[in-house]
A = this chain, B = another copy of it.
Amino acid sequence: MQAEIITIGDEILIGQIVDTNSAFIAKQLNKIGVSVYQITSVQDEEEHILKSLKEAEENADIIILTGGLGPTKDDITKNTLAAYFQDTLVQDEAVLENIKFLWENYVQKPLSQLNIDQALIPSKAIALMNKVGSAPGMWMEKGNKTFISLPGVPFEMETLIQEEVLPRLQKKYKSPYILHRTLLTYGLGESSLAELIEDWEANLPKHIKLAYLPNLGKVRLRISAKGFHKEQIIKEVDEQIQLLLPLIKEYFTGFEDLEETIEALVAKQFIAQNKTLSAAESCTGGKIAERITEVPGASNYFKGSIVSYATEVKTSVLKVSEELIKKHSVVSAEVAEAMAVSALKLFETDYAIATTGNAGPTKGDSDAEVGTVYIAIARKGFVYSEKYMLGNHRVKVINKAVNKAFEMLQKEFLKNR
């Protein structure tokens, strides 16, 4: 079963936004055994959309479009889809009811004609109800091919994929099982790693694929297989992993589950062990807390964070001694550790994590080189910190530091098991 994803919108082709929808959809399709043959991003232009629909129909069984479903004139996907199916637009009463409901409850303004027109869909289409926005999804069939059109706003698209598209696809198509297992390795370059596992790779069965994903000191090895016998696939891949692991023992740090971000993994561990967490953030400016709280259920283990952006807040709110800051500078292992210990006490948690660093572009309150970040973890009677040099691009430094913080939390748990 093959799918093609078509994302529609000039904003993608001028680089104004990064297309994150495709990765989300591809990941979800993979979970139900549907491979993505191609992802195509096209302009808000009828002729171009028609051409891509035709090509996609030749290549794939399932064609998923996102974007171009808004109420304004630059949104032309719906009319183009009607043209492709030689169909006309008709008002869908259920969609109109949904729009009226949303307007009454959230918008509290009168419905305009533009809003009402969002209930128009091709007569051959089944409406996929959008509970979080006014543009419905649409499901259209042509022989055994399925065309699905979804709004481009990520959270609307995501809800529709989860609640409407996946269940319907699973009902309609019998799909194979797709397995991806990704092994994380640190400390060896891509080519050296390839040499190390050359014989193993050469002996892989043809239906098991290996990919190298290098990224600054870390290389991920992805093993993929596909087939109708789920247990068989899992067994075969596991056997290969058992052969591989002794070869890369020194460099292997764990599995990256495709479905689980590191913050979700950390959340699971805290909740399973009934432990609580707090934070004290300087250079990460609240982003650790934000990433934690974006995962539903965060309130089960996360108590809070103090964002001590100004140096004086480290003394006034976090009670880090002025002397310590003067002696070691505000960007130092000592201050990071004192911040973590302080958060542990203030929030009365089992663990606390703290960051202090200089994200640039200028040096700020410390002499530390731009990109220097200290991260500390405290638990009762114990605190330690690590120093990182994370480059010279502000947003990258912040994001890398946040990732490092989650990595440290995860390792801390592995150590204490």
Interface residues of A (CB under 8 A from B): 10-20, 22-30, 35-44, 48, 52, 55, 70-75, 105-107, 109, 112, 114-115, 131-132, 134, 153, 155, 159, 180, 182, 189-192, 194-195, 201, 209-215, 222, 224, 258, 279, 281, 284-290, 292-294, 296, 298-299, 302-310, 312-313, 316-317, 346-348, 360-362, 364-365, 371, 389-396, 398
Contact = CB atoms under 8 A, between A and B. Distances in A.
Given A11-B222, A299-B309, A306-B306, 4 more contacts: A13-B36, A14-B27, A75-B212, A159-B393
Contacts of A23: 12, 15-19
Main secondary structure of the interface of A (DSSP, over half): mixed
A67 to B, nearest CB: 11
B305 A286 contact: yes
B38 A42 contact: yes
Contact of A286 (B13, B55, B289, B396): B289
B191 A115 contact: yes
B296 A285 contact: no
A195 B114 contact: yes
A155 B22 contact: no
A195 B112 contact: yes
Contacts of A43: 37-38
Contacts of A395: 155, 294
19 contacts: A12-B23, A12-B39, A14-B258, A15-B23, A72-B191, A74-B211, A109-B189, A112-B191, A114-B194, A132-B396, A153-B214, A279-B307, A289-B289, A294-B395, A299-B364, A302-B310, A304-B307, A304-B310, A306-B306
A290 B292 contact: no
A35 B72 CA distance: 23
